[in-house]
């Protein structure tokens, strides 16, 4: 999927505003420029950035109620999925927290938060203290069992885990939830038929 096709999906199916689309375009341009120096995303995915990274992240808005509370993105990297979700968010009282340990990536996130004037804040270490959020999202942080461990030990309950995973999602879920009796489901990804979104409720 190319840019125009993805933007149509963002607007019609996921209800991104024109203003949010404009911010996504700026973010994309800035990221590709930064990628020349820092390799934030794989060079092979630059041409498919709209589907591979932006839409892949944006699809999570379907599982989040932005009317109240907050969201924490574990391992934001260059902003996926957390920064994209922050761009979508129109509620000043809904907070988006981006956790990224790489100083270079965190600096980029701070630059984007300031430039795009979005409601988000970056933090350098997940393990610095307790995380208080109703939603925990992750795209490339750790394996699912490790994410659940962080979720169980450090995050205020109850909360919802929303994790982007590849074709081994079911296998990983079976292993991770074997000892944890949380209810969970797998949703099909909008960007890859083989990939899944794992959604679990943690009480």
| CATH number for 175 | 3.40.50.150
Higher local confidence (pLDDT), 125 or 23: 23
> Over the stretch 40-61, which tens digit does the pLDDT of each residue have?
999 999 999 999 999 999 999 9
Q: Is residue 91 part of a domain?
A: yes
For the question of whether the overall pTM of this predicted structure is more than 0.75, the answer is yes
Q: Is residue 189 part of a domain?
A: yes
Output the pLDDT for position 172.
85
Share the mean pLDDT of the chain: 92
Q: Is residue 166 part of a domain?
A: yes
> Two tokens at 56?
């892949």
Domain count across the chain: 1
**Helix pair angle (144-154, 169-176), 10° resolution:** 40
- What are the Cα distances from residue 157, in Å, to 65, 79, 136, 150, 160? 16, 25, 11, 12, 9
Q: Is residue 160 part of a domain?
A: yes
Range of the domain at 69: 60-202
Q: Is the dihedral of CA 24, 5, 55, 107 positive or negative?
A: negative
């Amino acid at each position: 999927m190319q840019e125009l096709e993805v933007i149509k999906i963002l607007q019609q199916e996921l209800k991104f505003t024109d203003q949010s689309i404009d911010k996504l375009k700026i973010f994309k341009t800035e990221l590709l420029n930064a990628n020349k120096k820092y390799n934030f995303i794989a060079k092979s995915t630059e041409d498919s950035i709209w589907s591979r990274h932006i839409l892949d992240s944006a699809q999570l808005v379907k599982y989040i109620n932005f009317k109240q509370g907050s969201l924490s993105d574990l391992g934001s990297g260059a902003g996926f999925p957390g920064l994209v979700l922050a761009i979508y968010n129109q509620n000043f009282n809904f907070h988006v927290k981006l956790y990224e340990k790489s100083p270079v990536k965190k600096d980029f996130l701070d630059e984007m938060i300031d430039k795009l004037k979005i409601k988000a804040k970056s933090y350098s270490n997940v393990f610095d203290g307790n995380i208080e959020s109703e939603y925990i999202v992750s795209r490339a942080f750790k394996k699912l069992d490790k994410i659940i461990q962080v979720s169980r030990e450090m995050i205020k309950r109850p909360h919802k885990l929303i994790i982007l995973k590849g074709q081994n999602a079911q296998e990983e879920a079976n292993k991770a939830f074997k000892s944890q009796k949380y209810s969970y489901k797998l949703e099909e990804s909008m960007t890859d038929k083989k990939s899944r979104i794992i959604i679990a409720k943690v009480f």
